[in-house]
Structure 1
Amino acid sequence: MHVYKRFKIPELDRMFEVTIRNYEWGDFAKLIDLQAQCFPPPYPPELWWNAEQLSEHVSRFPEGALCAEVDGVIVGSMTALRRNIPNNGHESWATATNEGYIRNHEPDGDTVYVVDLCVAPAYRKLGVGKQLMQAMYETVVHLRCARLLGGGRMPGYAAVAGDLSPEAYLAEVCTGKRRDPVISFMLACGRMPVGVVADYLDDEQSADCAALMEWRNPFDKENK
């Protein structure tokens, strides 16, 4: 097990320690339980991780299989693969991630593509998600990749889809006129929008749309 980092989070009258590390074979049941907590109905349960997908993650790209743990309980996870992305990433989640199995992982890919990020509801707004994102940025730098890329759900969009295009909704979130629980978080983590992908995922809250969000490696010479 490779430990990426440890940090402390204050909560009421105590300070608890969070460890960010690579997840392993023995973590699979905890990771699937975490998905159930993070993505309740109407999110389709068949899109939660299964053991075969998780096996592919830890076998093909263990550097991109991260979890956050508190007192032996996994409270967050983030998964990615490497790819050379065509068409700037305007693909569905299923195509971009091989339906979560990441068998399209390219060891020499210049892009670290985010497959999934989730944090248990009880641990949200405590910085766990930001620390997972930062750990993945550090992975991008360590591997000398050009960027991190991935589709971000827009769970606030469906409520206004009759009045706004997904591009207009994203623009309003980016200017601060609206707040979206996922996209606003990604913006605060340093990721920037590079487009919208329709039919990205079967996701009623987002009207099946996603914002394509990018973080450029500041140490990559091509980004200068």
Structure 2
Amino acid sequence: MTYEKYLYLYNHGKNVKVKVRNYKKDDFSELIKIQEESFPPPYPSDAWWNEEQLTNHVMLFPEGALCVEVDGVLAGSMTGVLVTFDPAHPEHTWEEITDNGYIRNHDPNGNTLYVVDICIRPAFRKLDLGKWLMQSMYEVVVHKDLDRLLGGGRLPGFHKVADRMTIEEYYDAVICGEWKDPVTSFLLRCGRTPVGIATNYLEDEESHNYAALMEWRNPFKEVK
């Protein structure tokens, strides 16, 4: 399946042409540059995408390798992998469910599209491109007749209140809108719904290694 979608978004007094499509080998150097811009030092450079990971994305599951262009400039990407998810046993880490971003565990018969990564170039973050990429992944879920889109959302605001709130209290406050979190509040605005708290999900000092497990269920399927 080849994915390609066009839309126009308002930016600084004019509409700009936006294209969402599958990324390919010719995009690799720019995708790595976007990671570098989005996660500058002290973020470790070995945590950015590398060519082997990106090659696996386009070879093993090209339908889950999406990028977005603004007036022909690559502005961000989102990557997914198919997994078999059992809601009765939701425990996992980012590293194990995504094969540390290499997705060699991609399951063509999986029931769930799992979000490996989403990244938007800082200069383009006011255009809601992350939301449009998420919407595009929902369309992949429907097209492939999957049960859901699933992923762990960081909770980077937690470290500011960890001395006076438990992670459960913080999570509940974010979900009900009493507290805004930079990542998980964004996922809620994208239509994702809470599944629970993932412990030791990712080495992340700001989130104290926690994540909010968030899903979007296929509205055309009865998901058990």
TM over 0.5: yes
Normalized against structure 1, the TM-score is what? 0.94
The residue number in structure 2 matching 1:116 is 117
Rate the CA distance shift 1:44–1:159 in 2: closer, same or farther, 3 A. farther
SS of corresponding position for 1:89: coil
Aligned counterparts of 2:143 and 2:25: Cα–Cα separation in 1? 24
Alignment of 1:68-83 (within 5 A): 68-83=68-83
Is 2:174 the partner of 1:173? yes
Q: Structure 2: which amino acid aligns with 1:17? A: K
The residue number in structure 2 matching 1:28 is 28
Alignment of 1:1-224 (within 5 A): 2-86=2-86, 88-222=89-223
Contact preservation (8 Å) 1:43, 1:203 = no
What per-residue deviation string (whole Å, max 9, x for no partner) do you get for residues 139-180 of structure 1?
A: 000000000100011111111122222221111011111101
Aligned counterparts of 1:84 and 1:163: Cα–Cα separation in 2? 37
Contact preservation (8 Å) 1:4, 1:135 = no
Aligned counterparts of 1:140 and 1:179: Cα–Cα separation in 2? 28
SS of corresponding position for 1:28: helix
List alignment gaps of at least 5 residues for structure 1. Answer: none
Contact preservation (8 Å) 1:156, 1:206 = yes
Q: Structure 1: which amino acid aligns with 2:14? A: R
Q: Structure 2: which amino acid aligns with 1:202? A: E
Contact preservation (8 Å) 2:3, 2:63 = no
Aligned counterparts of 1:150 and 1:2: Cα–Cα separation in 2? 23
SS of corresponding position for 1:117: strand
What per-residue deviation string (whole Å, max 9, x for no partner) do you get for residues 3-32 of structure 1?
A: 421111111222211100000011001111
Residue 110 of structure 1, CA deviation: 0.2
Residue 88 of structure 1, CA deviation: 4.1
Normalized against structure 2, the TM-score is what? 0.94
Aligned counterparts of 1:67 and 1:28: Cα–Cα separation in 2? 11
What per-residue deviation string (whole Å, max 9, x for no partner) do you get for residues 55-97 of structure 1?
A: 0000000000000012332111100000102454321110010
Aligned residues: 223
Contact preservation (8 Å) 1:43, 1:204 = no
Residue 40 of structure 1, CA deviation: 2.4
SS of corresponding position for 1:211: strand
SS of corresponding position for 1:222: coil
Q: Structure 1: which amino acid aligns with 2:172? A: A
Aligned counterparts of 2:111 and 2:66: Cα–Cα separation in 1? 19
Q: Structure 1: which amino acid aligns with 2:90? A: G
Contact preservation (8 Å) 2:8, 2:18 = yes
Aligned counterparts of 2:223 and 2:16: Cα–Cα separation in 1? 40
Aligned counterparts of 1:102 and 1:124: Cα–Cα separation in 2? 27
Aligned counterparts of 1:161 and 1:184: Cα–Cα separation in 2? 18
